[in-house]
Each structure stands twice: as structure tokens, then as C-alpha cells.
Structure 1
Amino acid sequence: MKYIKKRLFVLFIPMVLVCQSCWLYKFGTANIPPNMKTVSVGFFENVAPIVVPTLSQAFTEELKTRIRTQSELNILRENADGHFEGSITDFSYTNVAVTANEKANLVRLTITVKVKYTSTLDDEQSFEQTFSQFEQFSLDNGSIQSQERTIIPIVTKRLTEDIFNKAFANW
């Protein structure tokens, strides 16, 4: 009986420590300064060589959505505690794999965004950086044009996640 109690005690202590450490850190939690209450997001103009007419609006709205869903910040048009601005500088397709009859089969869509984030509360949190993300897809599933509507949102979600993490999660 003593052996069982001793063994349970040895197993119980590490479990308590592990559970307690999980309460100290929350995954996906933003590290936003407590005095920051507002942010503004400027329109991200598409200056890439290939211009998709809806990309600027879609990207700008996706960044606002990410901020709304992952923080308690209010989004203002101007005079905010933080401000995002920038442009879409590249939108390109690259052939990744070619079939035996020299036809492209796997294509990569890459989107690059130049972002300037300005914090009026803490200048050390401000940055200017280029972010780039891609998604590969097969032409077996349809043409590039037919797949654009599903591929672009995947890439913009990754980009906005990177931008949000850089500004608020110190990644």
C-alpha cells in the first residue's frame, strides 16, 4: 500500500506542474500593450505587376478581420494607437512541376506585401517589413483562374497571421 501511495505521489506532482504551466501561457494570445485600445488599417493598394482587381480590398478586409477576431482592439479610420499601411508588391505564379509532355502541373501562387506598422504608444513596436507567402496547387483540379478564388484567401490568411504576429505577438 505504501508503494502505491508513493508511486501515485511521484506521478501526481509532475502532472500538477505541467497543468499549472499551461495556465501561465495561452497559445494564440496577443501581446498587446494594456494601454492600446485602437488601431487603424489603411487600404493596401495593389502595385504588383499582375493586378487582381479584388485583391486589395480582400487583403485589407482580411487584416481587419484578423485584428477583430484575435484582439479586443477597436478599428478606427484615423487617430488610432496603432496604424497599418502598405501595398501589395508582388503577385506571381511559378511553375513548380512539369509533366512528361512538358506541361505545367503544379503551380505556386506567391503574394508579397510591404507593411508599415506605427505604434503611437511605443515606437519600439513600430516596424516596416516585407511579408511573403505562397500556396501550391495542381492544375489537375482546374485552371489557374478557376482556382484563384480558393487559393488567394489561403495566402492572404497566412500573410495577415504573419503581420498580426509581428505586431502583437512578438514572433
Structure 2
Amino acid sequence: MKSFFKIITFTLFITVSSCKYYNFTGTGSIDAKTFQVNYFQNTAELVEPGIERTFTLALQEIIQNQTNLNLVSQGGELLYEGEITEYRITPMTATADQRAAQNRLTISVMVRFSNKNKEEDDFERRFSFYHDYPANEQMTGSRLTTALDEIFTRITQDVFNESLAKW
């Protein structure tokens, strides 16, 4: 009975202590305590007001929610910066009378990531995603909010995975 108790105790110890080095987001080996997300300017030819703030906040939120890093306004060990380079609406499918049946909103963001503690992790990369919607609807109000939520959720998760999760 004592050996059974020792085995259970040892197994529990290994399980708990391994969580220090690995977790389900893959971010267990981050050697930083702070991160900084600079304001992402909107340099796209077609400008939708306010999306730069929405994206910046979405990126801050995903990092705060999925790590123990502290957000700072300057001097962060991990630095995210860049710009929104594309906001484009294009017709995707047509009806028999040559009208658009479906449109696609595509947003692209250029991200520069710097890790002061591990410079080999630095990158500059373009992330992009889209949202399809019926052509008879305008990209305003709740339609725009839904599209931005979908697109920015995907882009910020891709940025997070590339910079921290290493999946």
C-alpha cells in the first residue's frame, strides 16, 4: 500500500510540475514578463474609420487572455507593431444577369514582432483573412461588426500562434 501511495504521489508531482514548462496554448516557455502593442495605423487605400483601434485592442486582448504577460505602454520585452495594409471589398460570385451575388471583405495586417530576450523569434509578416456576405447587404452596422469580429479573431490568433504558441 505504501508503494502505491508513493507512485500516486510521484505521478501527481510530475504532472503538476510539468505545467510550469508546458501548457495547452504552447506558451509555457515564454521568457518575458511584459508585452507592448503599438497602435496599428490604417494605411489601406480604402479606409474604414476605427478599425485600427479595434484591431489594436483585439491583439492586446488575446495576448492578455492567453498568457500571464503584463501589458505595458513602453519598454515591453515583446513588441508588436505594424499597420493595416488592406481593406478591400470584392465581388465573389455572380447571378445570371451579371450582378454580384456575394461579396468578400478582405483585411490584411503587416505585423512586426520583436522579442528583446530572444531575437531569433523576431519576424515581419503579413496576416490576412476575409468575410463573405450577400451582395444585397451593405458593410455597415451589425454586418460590419460581425465581419470585423470574425476577421480580427482569426488574424490575432494567427499572430499569437506565430509569435508565442510556436504551433
TM range (shorter): 0.7 to 0.9
Question: CA contact under 8 A between 2:30 and 2:164: conserved in structure 1?
Answer: no
Give the SS at the match of 1:68: helix
RMSD (CA atoms): 2.0
Which of the residues 156, 160, 164 maps onto 2:152?
A: 156
Residue 46 and residue 123 in structure 1: after superposition, are their counterparts in 2 closer, same or farther (change >3 A)? same
Residue 45 (structure 1) shift? 0.2
Q: Distance in 1 between matches of 2:66 and 2:30?
A: 15
Asked if the contact 2:36/2:80 (under 8 Å) is kept, the reply is: yes
Q: Aligned residues: percent identity?
A: 30
Provide closer, same or farther for how the CA distance between residues 42 and 164 of structure 1 changes in structure 2, counting only shifts above 3 A: same
Other-structure match for 1:96 = 92
Residue 148 (structure 1) shift? 1.5
* Aligned 8 A contact 1:66 1:160 in 2: yes
Q: Tell me the SS of whatever aligns to 1:132.
A: strand
Could you tell me which residue of structure 1 aligns to residue 79 of structure 2?
83
Say if 2:119 is the partner of 1:105: no
Superposition pairs for residues 8-27 of structure 1, below 5 Å? 27=24
Instruction: Please give the residue correspondences for 1:25-104 in structure 2 after superposition, counting only pairs within 5 Å.
Output: 27=24, 29-31=25-27, 33-104=29-100
Checking the alignment, whether the CA contact within 8 Å between 1:95 and 1:104 is kept in structure 2 is yes
Give the structure 2 partner of residue 130 of structure 1: 126
Aligned counterpart, 1:115: 111
Q: Which amino acid in 2 is paired with 1:149?
A: T
Partner SS for 1:110: strand
Q: TM-score, normalised by structure 2?
A: 0.82
Which of the residues 161, 164, 167 maps onto 2:163?
167
> How far 1:26 sits from its partner (Å)?
5.2
AA partner of residue 92 (structure 2): V
Partner-residue secondary structure (3-state), 2:35 = strand
Count of residues in Structure 1 that have an aligned counterpart in Structure 2: 148
How far apart in 2 are the matches of 1:88 and 1:108?
17
Preserved CA contact (<8 Å) 1:84 1:116: yes
**Cα distance in 1 for residues equivalent to 2:62 and 2:112:** 17
Structure 1 consecutive aligned stretches of length 4 or more whose deviation exceeds 6 Å: none
1:144 CA displacement: 2.6
How far apart are the structure 2 equivalents of 1:117 and 1:143?
Answer: 35
- Higher Cα radius of gyration: 1
The residue aligned with 1:144 is 139
